[in-house]
Each structure stands twice: as C-alpha cells, then as structure tokens.
C-alpha cells in the first residue's frame, strides 16, 4: 500500500478529541477538548499599562488608534483612567501583527471587527500546527506490515527523509525492529488506547528517544492509523546530553575523591607504622599497606647503590631478584634526579621483571638530595598522578627514605664499631 493522501492524514489528526470523533474538517475549541478556558466577563478589564504590556502596543499608539479608528474602545468610570477589556487583547495583537506585515491599520481593524472570538480553529491552521510543530510527528499504518504514511517537517529533517519511498520504509523498519514495534502492533490490535515507547534516534545516532503513540479515528472502511508524537523536543534532547555529560563528570569526581581518600588512609597508616618502628619489618608492612589501600597488585623496594637499582623481591611475589643500571634508562634517571613519581616506561618495567599486562609506577626515595632507592608499585591499570597524588607519594617517599637512611647509619655505626 502506498502513502495515504495528506488530506486524509490531516483529517485524521483533526478528529482526535478524547474518545469521541468530530466532523472532519472541524477542530474543537480548547474548552470542548477538555482544556479550561479563561472566564471572560464583560466587566473584566485591565489598566492601560497592563493592556499595553499584554498586547505589545504602547499606550500612545493605543490612543492614536482610538482617535483615528475607534479601536480599541476603552472604558472609563466617571473621570477615571482608561481601562481595556481583556477579551480585546487578541484582536489588538492581530491588528499589530498585520500592521507589522504592511497591512493598513484601517483594513487590519476591519478584519478584527468581530466582537466574538473565533470558536473553532480552521482545519488548515490545525494541519499547519501539526506540520510545523517542533516535535516529531508521524502517522503509521499497520500492524503488518508497519508502514510510515506521513511525517511532519520536523521529523523529515531529523530522519533526513523527503516523505516517501524507500526512506520511509527504512524509518518503518527501524520502528518495527525496536522494542517500540511490539507496542505499536498491540496498539493497532486495540489492546491499548495509547502507549509511551522508546525507539532509536530518528537520525540514527546512538541512544533512544521517547514518543507517545495513539490510535487515530478514521472513516469507515479506511485502514487503521496510529499517530506517533515525539515527547522530547530539540531542547530536551540537548539537555539530556548535558545531563549525561554532567553525570559522567560527577562519577569521575567521585572516583577521584575515593582514590584520594585511599591515598590519605595509606599515608596515615604509614605514619603510624614509622612512629612505632622504622625497621625493615616496618618497611615491609608499609609496602603491604600501600598495596591494600591503593588497590595495587604488588609493591617492592629497589635500593640504589653505585648507579644501580636492585630489587630482591616484591611483597606478593610478582618481582624476583633484578638489577638495572639507571643511566641505561634516561626517564628513570630523570625521575630519580628530580624526585618525581612517574610511570615506568615499558623497557624499564621489563628490565625490573614486571609481568606482562601490569603497569609499574616508580616513587623515588630521595633524602637530602641523595637517591636511596625506588618504591615500585604494580597496577592492573595506570592511574592519574595528579597534584594531590603527587603530594601523597612524596610523603610515602619521605617515610621510606627515613627508614632506609636509619638502616644505612646503623650499618655504618656497626661497621665502625667492629673496626675499632
């Protein structure tokens, strides 16, 4: 079946009124459709200032129209100020707009001369409302095969279709294969009067959009039609993207905050360890604390002597005995010289025996400008070394460096005593 005539689609949209059907070509007023209209009593007036604000026509221009055309007609109580009827607001706005489009004021006033407001929206105005609505609107026939028989201008631009042929078939296939397809078929079968469904983006981009679908009344003998109206305008879609980006940013900040909390807890534990004891056992305990608190895989202490770094073993056995010459690894040499924590280059990590798939961070242990060693931390994934993390690693380095310096001084004292 080919696309239905556009006049039939417009008539179908124009006949929706709750659960009733009205004559084709007529559109009911807001009150008939269930919306509450403002009560308009003959004595309901506003001041000239308020009337000017409502209509966009200055008080001076209103008086000019009154003198020349007898429109609008103000009310006075005794010698009081001018007041205008609220029901004249749409008429004055219509005259203003017509004047802005070049229509002579006298002619525009004549057009607006009817005192009673129009009770019905013309069918062509309603069709234009649907066609130019900022929401995607489509009419579907079905249930099998599901076909798109009408799209408004907004949807045509979103889906990049011209309104007929293969392009509409692709839109129909997209809807039919989505979760929304089953809901639409149930709607055609009469299981529901309306349904809110999600379907892929009209333009094919990632993500989903929501639309409300409802059955349209049609003439006897005509195929059933379902209207699909998007409930997310362009602004809402843009806001949804912004909200998603903000949520990701908040999640990243929370993750960063959690990581910093772990680092702070590690430093607190290290401080407590070294306040009690600064022996090799305390150093081992400190490395264990780093592994637990920093979600590291393993940790080791490489001691520095005569231009070489030597690792005996790591706390969890990932590293075995290894020795490297610092000058053979320029990035490592710079890190030791500048006392800057850094992720080790793959060649350096391999030389230290770091298993494949793990990443190694090196924390130089420097006291009074002298390199004493390197704390090596192994991770499954590299983590950012931010300013805060850098401060915490520096504190770790200082604590371990104090322990190494103490051991070195103790060894020198023992050696001096044995020689004496």
Per-residue pLDDT of the chain (420 residues; tens, 9 = 90+): 444 445 545 554 544 443 333 333 333 333 333 333 333 445 588 899 999 998 899 999 999 999 998 888 888 877 788 899 888 888 898 899 889 989 898 888 888 765 455 555 566 666 778 888 888 888 888 788 888 888 888 888 877 764 444 577 888 888 888 888 888 888 888 777 788 888 888 777 777 788 888 888 877 767 788 888 887 655 666 777 788 888 888 988 888 788 778 777 767 776 676 666 656 777 787 788 778 877 889 999 999 988 999 999 999 999 989 999 999 999 999 999 988 888 999 999 999 999 999 999 998 988 878 888 999 999 998 877 777 667 777 777 777 777 777 777 777 788 778 776
Look at residue 25 and tell me if it is in a domain. Answer: no
Look at residue 241 and tell me if it is in a domain. Answer: no
Asked whether residue 136 falls in the same domain as residue 97, the answer is: no
pTM for this model (two decimals): 0.41
Look at residue 1 and tell me if it is in a domain. Answer: no
Asked whether residue 127 falls in the same domain as residue 193, the answer is: yes
Domain with 308 in it: 247-417
Asked whether residue 195 falls in the same domain as residue 279, the answer is: no
Phi-psi region of 339 (alpha: psi -120 to 50; beta: other; left: phi over 0): left
Asked whether residue 299 falls in the same domain as residue 383, the answer is: yes
Q: At 332, which CATH number?
A: 3.30.450.40
Q: At which of 184, 203, 232 does a domain end?
A: 232
pLDDT for the residue numbered 122: 64
Asked whether residue 211 falls in the same domain as residue 296, the answer is: no
Look at residue 178 and tell me if it is in a domain. Answer: yes
Asked whether residue 204 falls in the same domain as residue 91, the answer is: no
Asked whether residue 279 falls in the same domain as residue 385, the answer is: yes
* Closest by Cα among 357, 358, 364 to 332: 364
Asked whether residue 194 falls in the same domain as residue 80, the answer is: no
**Cα three-residue angle 135-243-236, rounded to 5 degrees:** 10
Asked whether residue 301 falls in the same domain as residue 348, the answer is: yes
Q: At which of 82, 98, 115 does a domain end?
A: 115
Look at residue 251 and tell me if it is in a domain. Answer: yes
Asked whether residue 96 falls in the same domain as residue 159, the answer is: no
pLDDT for the residue numbered 232: 66
Q: Report how many domains make up the chain.
A: 3
Asked whether residue 263 falls in the same domain as residue 140, the answer is: no
Phi-psi region of 369 (alpha: psi -120 to 50; beta: other; left: phi over 0): left
> Do the beta carbons of residue 382 and residue 359 sit within 8 Å?
yes
Look at residue 22 and tell me if it is in a domain. Answer: no
**CA 172 to CA 31: how far, in whole Å?**
36
């Amino acid at each position: 079946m080919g696309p239905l005539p556009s006049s039939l689609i417009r008539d179908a949209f124009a006949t929706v009124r709750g659960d009733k059907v009205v004559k084709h070509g007529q559109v009911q007023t807001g009150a008939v459709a269930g919306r509450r209209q403002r009560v308009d009593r003959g004595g309901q007036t506003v001041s000239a200032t308020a009337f000017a604000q409502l209509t966009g026509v200055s008080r001076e221009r209103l008086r000019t129209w009154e003198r020349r055309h007898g429109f609008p007609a103000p009310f006075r109580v005794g010698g009081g100020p001018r007041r205008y009827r609220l029901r004249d607001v749409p008429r004055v706005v219509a005259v203003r707009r017509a004047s802005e489009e070049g229509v002579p004021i006298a002619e525009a006033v004549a057009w607006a001369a009817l005192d009673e407001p129009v009770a019905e929206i013309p069918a062509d105005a309603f069709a234009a409302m649907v066609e130019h609505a900022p929401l995607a609107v489509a009419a579907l026939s079905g249930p099998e095969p599901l076909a798109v028989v009408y799209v408004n201008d907004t949807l045509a631009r979103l889906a990049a279709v011209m309104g007929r042929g293969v392009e509409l078939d692709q839109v129909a296939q997209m809807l039919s294969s989505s979760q929304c397809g089953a809901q639409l078929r149930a709607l055609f079968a009469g299981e529901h009067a309306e349904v809110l469904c999600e379907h892929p983006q009209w333009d094919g981009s990632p993500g989903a959009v929501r639309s409300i679908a409802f059955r349209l009344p049609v003439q006897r003998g005509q195929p059933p039609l379902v209207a699909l109206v998007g409930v997310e305008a362009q602004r809402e879609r843009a806001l949804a993207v912004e909200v998603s980006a903000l949520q990701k940013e908040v999640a990243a900040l929370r993750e960063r905050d959690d990581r910093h909390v772990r680092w702070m807890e590690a430093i607190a534990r290290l401080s407590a360890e070294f306040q009690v004891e600064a022996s090799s056992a305390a150093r081992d305990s400190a490395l264990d604390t780093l592994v637990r608190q920093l979600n590291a895989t393993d940790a080791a202490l490489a001691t520095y002597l005569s231009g070489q770094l030597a690792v005996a073993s790591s706390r969890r056995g990932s590293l075995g005995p290894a020795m490297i010459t610092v000058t053979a690894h320029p990035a490592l040499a710079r890190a030791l010289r500048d006392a800057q924590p850094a992720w080790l280059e793959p060649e350096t990590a391999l030389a230290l025996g770091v298993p494949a798939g793990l990443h190694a961070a090196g924390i130089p242990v420097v006291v009074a400008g002298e390199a004493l060693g390197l704390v090596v931390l192994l991770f499954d994934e590299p983590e950012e070394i931010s300013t805060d993390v850098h401060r915490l690693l520096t504190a770790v380095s200082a604590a371990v460096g104090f322990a190494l310096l103490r051991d070195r001084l103790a060894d020198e004292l023992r050696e001096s005593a044995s020689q004496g």
